[in-house]
Structure 1
Amino acid sequence: MRTTTPRRIAAAIAAAALGLTSACTAGGGGSDDGGPKAEDKQTIQVWHGWSADHEVKGFEDAVNGFRKLHPNITVKVTGNQTDDQITNAIRGGTPPDVVASFTTDNLGQFCQSGAWQELTPRLKKSGVDLNIFPKAVQDYTQFRGKRCALPLLADAYGLYFNKKLMKGNAPPKTMSELAALAKKLTVRDRDGRIKVAGFMPSVQYYEHTPQHIATSFGVKWLGADGKANFSRDPAFTEYLKWEKDLLDWYGYDEAKRFMRTMGQEFEASNPFQKGKVAMAVDGEWRTKFIEKEAPGLDYGTAPPPVSDARAAQYGGGFTLGTIMGIPRGSKHADAAWEFVRYLTTDTGSLVTLANALGNVPSTLQALSSPDLRLPAQFGTFLNVFKHPGTTTSPSSPNGGDYLVQLQKFVQDEWEPGKAQDPARALKALDEKVDKALKLAGG
């Protein structure tokens, strides 16, 4: 998965708006209600979001394994499909038979609205043991006990560091070490302008979103009551203070100026790849981009640092991933299930996809496959992914709106200094998020 955070946030907002009525769509097909059985000759439609040539080819290579096992099922694949397109097709009564989404945050809405079918009966009938997936993966593919998706590859986040710019320093393990090293490695010109940033803490820096960085402080996004937890969990205040202290050291205006000079996240001009940033938190896919766009870059990877009080948890991190399911209205649900089960649980299929896309394979067996052909730096992400301390952000009924609202608050109010009292601001944020959750049926 390689979607940028802004695209993912936009998709979450759009799906929340579109999907709330999708439960009105007609029911799905399948042998239980008169549709074809899996062994019948038929054609299924599969939609996914990948668009780059190597991604599309990798997906087709994985699908070819299914075609050999099920010659009676013709699989037609359509790429570059967004959640909006998927949701509109479901609402219009003309969905494909299988869908894959990059926007894990939308799963709660998919499950609650019935837009994606419940898979638990099929899992039990097929004897699929969910323990083949790490716990965090099991968590982000279900919502309130309803499992409407299975994982298809995953993202794990770690710390990238430029070995030349590190000047012999070891990668930091705690957030205080990260802040100190960021200051030490930062290079300014005689006018105080940033030439090289040790680490840019702003949420406006690509993957340095609260979703990815606040996790290092052990935040609990939602309480046991399902309500927003920002003001009740002191870890959020700790995160905010850490982020603002380092950003203020750079100077808010100067940091903004520096970020305006940076290249695009998914282009060769990415500042880490160009040596303008010494350390950055990013997903495992960055290894693939470096391999293609900056092959001469001498870099390393490490687990993301954790707050000082959580030093014993170092090694874990944050994960989410691509999810695959059967939309409501599928006319070939039995064959669709066979396809979903194969792609998400077959080791050979997952390894093929992981090698082609540079993502983490999502089963424990595939993680240890000798057939994985990934750079040495990728090992960090395999270890983070299977670490027992690795967590994810929980699903919500409105497409991860709580994540959207926190990021907007940090970017628009906290970073520029408009909000001075974190306790008061976070309580107001809780109230705003809880109101939206209630409207969405939370």
Structure 2
Amino acid sequence: MRTKPGRSRLRLRSALVVATAGVMAAACTAGGGAASGPAEAPSSDQAVTIQVWSAFADRELGLVKDALDKYHAKHPNVTIDNQGSQDDDKITQAIRSGNPPDVAISFTTDNIGQFASSGAWQDLKPYIERDKYNLDDIPQAVRDYTEYDGKRVALPMLADVYGLYYNKDLLAKAGLTSPPKTTAELLDFAKKTTVKAADGSIEVAGFLPQMGFYAFKPQIVATMFGAKWIDKDGKSILGQDQGWKDMFTWQKELIDFYGWDNLQKFTAGLGQEYSADNGFHAGKVAMAIDGEYRTAFLADQTPALNYGTTALPTSKPENYGGGYTTGTIIGIPKGAKNPGAAWDLIKYLTSDTDALVGLANGLHNVPSTKTSLSSPDLKLGDTFKPFLDAFQNKNLTSNPASTIGDQYLKIVSDFGEAWQSGSNTDLGGGLTTLDKQIDDAKALGK
């Protein structure tokens, strides 16, 4: 469960990416990696202390400690220094200074391309091949967001899956007995469940299509329309892909239904995304995109809310059942002093079913192996089940890793904000311009 906005992996971290990019470039000059092959784990009579850095804090850091303590119980010779509140910027600066932790845990999958291309995180392929680590137990979409250009520098420790939350009472009041499965239905249901005052102001919104508000982010909504980001050569193809045109056209129809000024006034009066008065919590929004972790917030903050969860609606029925995924990633920084011990711990945290289930139950995230999904010890409730189902679905997707991190997401989001407000009305030309901006940013970042 996320306890504060800082846990949100989908917040556009352009400032962090800019700050991190410079030290990424210098990372390949910092301390050495495992050039002579994968390092061995320490023998049982060899005492070693390894540092684990993550951005976890407070209760969540304690849950990670519980998992690390279980590893220590199996390997009493390995002492683990568990340090929280360490974000990617701090980890990268430690790499640059030649004093990195042995294990790095990140919430920012969008930095994978930078970690891999700069050499800031070590390639795990030699360890995976030596120990016959079963990558097939991880869904393809998750394998995709933990590697870049054939280099695997991270493994997933837990995952987030995004689906649709719906207020059963508000749908029933509009005469709707089940949630939407298609984007056309979502548009129709949004209009039917919206309540407007006589002056046109919004009292209850069926669904909020405002770019950047809550979890309405381009990488998630693109999944709903099957929109493609890049071609086989890594070039941006937003202007060529029909999915993007369909997505922005769909969004604008709902924006126009509300009226841009009305929508702005309405969302300005809603609570923050991670507050108890979030619009969905308060019954002011009938349907909302969100991650599996929202179930924990609702149980804690609004236990009486009559809601359900389901897979994200899609423009093509054959794509229904999946969703968008991202998650927590874990790897070995360049220059780690105890890479062999670090790998053994990473292998445990990412493949041991008991470890993953314990973390998933405590943090209310999706365990990141197929095997762990069927564990009888997984206790996350009925509203969590659609996210587990989506995680196993062949239509699960993520956005591609890039050497410019999440900068390309920010570029698309900025266009979306101009498009929704009416300040940019040229959809085709705008998407073509996005391709040039993204490709130019990649070229500049090389």
Q: TM-score range by the shorter chain?
A: over 0.9
CA contact (8 A) 2:252 2:420 kept: yes
C-alpha RMSD of the superposition? 1.7
Q: Where do 5+ consecutive residues of structure 1 fail to align?
A: none
Change (3 A) 1:31 1:74: farther
Amino acid at match of 2:192: K
* 1:92 equivalent in alignment to 2:97: yes
Aligned residue number for residue 371 of structure 2: 365
In 1, distance between residues paired with 2:397 and 2:231?
Answer: 15
Separation in 2, partners of 1:333, 1:302:
41
- Partners of 1:30 and 1:36 in 2: CA distance: 16
Deviations 1:178-230 (A, max 9, x none): 01110110111222111110000111321011111111110111111101111
Counterparts in 2 of 1:184 and 1:13: CA distance versus 1, 3 Å = farther
User: Please, what TM-score do these two structures have when normalized by structure 1?
Assistant: 0.95
Name the amino acid aligned to 2:438.
Answer: V
Aligned equivalents of 1:385 and 1:130: distance in 2?
15
Q: Deviations over 1:136-176 (max 9, x none)?
A: 11111111110000001000010000111111521001111
Aligned counterpart in structure 1 of residue 420 of structure 2, from 415, 418, 427: 415
Equivalent AA in structure 1 for residue 96 of structure 2:
R
- Which deviates more, 161-170 or 365-374? 161-170
Distance 1:366 1:255, change over 3 A: same
Aligned residue number for residue 264 of structure 1: 272
5 Å-filtered alignment, 1:22-421, equals: 22-28=27-33, 37=42, 39=44, 40-53=46-59, 55-167=60-172, 168-169=175-176, 170-307=178-315, 310-411=316-417, 413-421=418-426
- The answer to whether the 8 A contact 1:58-1:356 is kept is yes
Q: Which amino acid aligns with 1:45?
A: Q
Q: Which moved more, 1:38-47 or 1:59-68?
A: 38-47
- Matched residue of 1:21: which SS? helix
Q: Secondary structure at the match of 2:300?
A: helix
Q: CA deviation at 1:371?
A: 0.2
Q: How many residues align?
A: 437
Aligned-residue offset at 1:123: 0.7
- C-alpha distance in structure 2 between counterparts of 1:414 and 1:351, whole Å: 42
Aligned-pair CA distance for 1:32: 6.0
> Contact 2:39–2:339 (CA<8 Å) still a contact in 1?
no
Specify the SS of the correspondent of 1:152. Answer: strand
Distance 1:400 1:4 in 2: 11
Residue 296 of structure 1 and its aligned partner are, at CA, apart by 1.0
Q: 1:370 to 1:33 in 2, by over 3 A?
A: closer
SS of 1:318 mapped into structure 2: strand
Q: What is the deviation of 1:38? A: 5.5
CA 1:94–1:207 in 2, change beyond 3 Å: closer, same or farther? same
Query: With structure 2 as the length reference, what TM-score do the two structures score?
Result: 0.95
Kept in 2, the 8 Å contact 1:42–1:72? The answer is: yes
Name the SS for the 1:171 alignment partner: coil
CA deviations over 1:396-441 (Å, ceiling 9, x no partner): 1111321111011111x21111211111111111111101111222
Q: SS at the partner of 1:5?
A: coil
Could you tell me which amino acid in structure 2 is paired with residue 69 of structure 1?
K
Q: Give the distance between the partners of 1:337 and 1:75, measured in 2 at CA.
A: 13
The letter of the residue matching 1:323 is: I
C-alpha distance in 2, partners of 1:236/1:34? 45
How far residue 14 of structure 1 moved from its aligned partner, in angstroms, is 3.4
The percent identity for this pair of structures is: 45
- Alpha carbons 1:62, 1:349 under 8 Å: kept: yes
**Corresponding residue SS for 2:397:** coil
Q: Distance in 2 between matches of 1:30 and 1:173?
A: 50
Change (3 A) 1:381 1:9: farther
- After superposition, what is the alpha-carbon deviation per residue over 1:325-366, rounded to whole angstroms, capped at 9, x for unaligned? 000010011000011110011000000000000000000010
Change (3 A) 1:33 1:135: closer
213-222 or 14-23: bigger deviation: 14-23
The aligned amino acid for 1:146 is K
Distance 1:196 1:13, change over 3 A: farther
Q: Distance in 2 between the 1:179 and 1:11 partners?
A: 35
Q: Which runs of 5+ in 2 are unaligned?
A: none
Task: Write the deviation string for residues 264-300 of structure 1: whole angstroms up to 9, x where unpaired.
Answer: 1111111111111000000000001111111111110
Contact 2:40 2:341 in 1 (8 A): no
1:431: which partner in 2? Answer: 436
The alpha carbon displacement at 1:7 in A equals 5.3
- Equivalent position amino acid for 2:241 in 1: D
Cα separation, 2, equivalents of 1:394 and 1:356: 29
Distance in 2, matches of 1:46 and 1:31, equals 24
CA contact (8 A) 2:17 2:406 kept: yes
The letter of the residue matching 1:380 is: P
